């Protein structure tokens, strides 16, 4: 019985209504496929299958729930057991990008001065990574607590892992911080990136949990606020 339920959860989803479908397409020959329709809404279950990545990325940036369902349910298959490696890689990437953000916020960017001691550089990098790690531990802890008490989700490690993966994957806006390593941007860019991450996390959490936008925003805002206060007051980060 449990195996049957688990197998049903691993089915792909219709990007329009979010219902489970048996298959997204039928392949008759290499390069010749037919997109299947959803039995519930009668629309094509996932038209993004035939779209280029650029189109999907644009719809993700525009916060379209259809694009988030395609990415989370049909592309990454967050309900399957295959997402463990993706989760670890996503957490590490998330941690490194947060370290970049803290470093840029503090103005700890090397200016090419050859007199900088290599030991001090290593020490500074270790401190920034430690600060990012502590901030993310607070973020994840607050996220899980709010999911349990605000969204009333039963404590299930597998379910919480899916929520965590959805929130971290939807933090892709932080990748734009890497452009600050090449071009010079005002510090206000970090604020706009964080706001974009918050709104993207809200959409992803809503897609995964199917709760209202207000509840999901409250959960994401509380987790981000806890991390911000930790970095600002306890760690001395701007």
- Dump pLDDT digits (tens) for 113-152: 444 567 777 777 788 888 888 888 999 999 988 888 887 7
Question: Is the domain of 64 the same as that of 108?
Answer: no
Burial of 25 per CB tally in 10 Å (0-12, 13-18, 19+) = middle
Examine the fold and report which residue of 33, 56, 75 is the final residue of a domain before the chain moves on. 75
pTM: 0.84
Q: What is the pLDDT of residue 109?
A: 47
Q: What is the pLDDT of residue 82?
A: 52
Examine the fold and report which residue of 75, 107, 128 is the final residue of a domain before the chain moves on. 75
Examine the fold and report which residue of 48, 75, 102 is the final residue of a domain before the chain moves on. 75
Question: Is the domain of 105 the same as that of 65?
Answer: no
Q: What is the pLDDT of residue 63?
A: 93
Q: What is the pLDDT of residue 59?
A: 94
Q: What is the pLDDT of residue 81?
A: 53
Question: Is the domain of 92 the same as that of 154?
Answer: yes
Question: Is the domain of 43 the same as that of 97?
Answer: no
Q: Which regions in the chain score pLDDT beneath 70?
A: 1-9, 80-85, 106-117, 154-155, 234-238
Tokens standing for 36? 């299947």
Question: Is the domain of 31 the same as that of 96?
Answer: no
Q: What is the pLDDT of residue 201?
A: 95
Question: Is the domain of 130 the same as that of 222?
Answer: yes
Question: Is the domain of 21 the same as that of 86?
Answer: no
Strand-strand pairing, 32-35 and 25-29 = antiparallel
Question: Is the domain of 166 the same as that of 215?
Answer: yes
Q: What is the pLDDT of residue 114?
A: 45
Question: Is the domain of 111 the same as that of 207?
Answer: yes
d(CA 104, CA 220): 23
- DSSP state, 32? E
Q: What is the pLDDT of residue 9?
A: 63
Q: What is the pLDDT of residue 151?
A: 75
Tokens standing for 38? 């959803």
d(CA 125, CA 136): 16
Question: Is the domain of 42 the same as that of 144?
Answer: no
Question: Is the domain of 34 the same as that of 150?
Answer: no
Task: List the domain range (segments joined by +) for residue 15.
Answer: 2-75
Q: What is the pLDDT of residue 1?
A: 44
Question: Is the domain of 33 the same as that of 131?
Answer: no
User: Are 238 and 101 within 8 A, CB to CB?
Assistant: no
Q: What is the pLDDT of residue 4?
A: 47
Q: What is the pLDDT of residue 110?
A: 44
Name which of 203, 173, 170, 204 is nearest 189 in CA terms: 173
Helix ranges (DSSP H) in the chain = 2-9, 53-61, 65-69, 84-106, 118-149, 157-169, 188-209, 213-229
Q: What is the pLDDT of residue 236?
A: 58
Q: What is the pLDDT of residue 66?
A: 94
- DSSP state, 31? T
Domain count for the chain: 2
Give the H or E element holding residue 81. none
């Amino acid at each position: 019985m449990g195996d049957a339920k688990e197998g049903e959860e691993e089915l792909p989803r219709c990007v329009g209504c979010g219902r489970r479908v048996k298959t997204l397409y039928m392949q008759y020959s290499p390069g010749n496929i037919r997109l299947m329709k959803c039995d519930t809404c009668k629309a094509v279950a996932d038209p993004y299958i035939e779209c280029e990545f650029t189109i999907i990325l644009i719809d993700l940036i525009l916060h379209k729930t259809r694009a988030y369902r395609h990415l989370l349910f049909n592309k990454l298959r967050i309900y399957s057991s295959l997402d463990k490696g993706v989760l670890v890689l996503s957490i590490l990437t998330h941690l490194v990008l947060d370290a970049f953000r803290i470093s840029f916020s503090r103005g700890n960017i090397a200016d090419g001065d050859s007199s900088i001691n290599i030991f001090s550089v290593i020490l500074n990098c270790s401190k920034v990574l430690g600060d990012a790690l502590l901030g993310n531990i607070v973020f994840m802890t607050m996220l899980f607590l709010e999911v349990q008490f605000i969204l009333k989700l039963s404590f299930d490690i597998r379910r919480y892992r899916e929520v965590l993966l959805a929130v971290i994957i939807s933090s892709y806006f932080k990748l734009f911080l890497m452009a600050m390593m090449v071009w010079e941007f005002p510090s206000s860019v970090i604020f706009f990136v964080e706001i974009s991450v918050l709104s993207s996390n809200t959409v992803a959490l809503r897609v995964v949990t199917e709760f209202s936008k207000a509840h999901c925003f409250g959960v994401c805002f509380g987790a981000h606020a806890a991390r911000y206060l930790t970095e600002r007051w306890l760690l001395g980060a701007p």
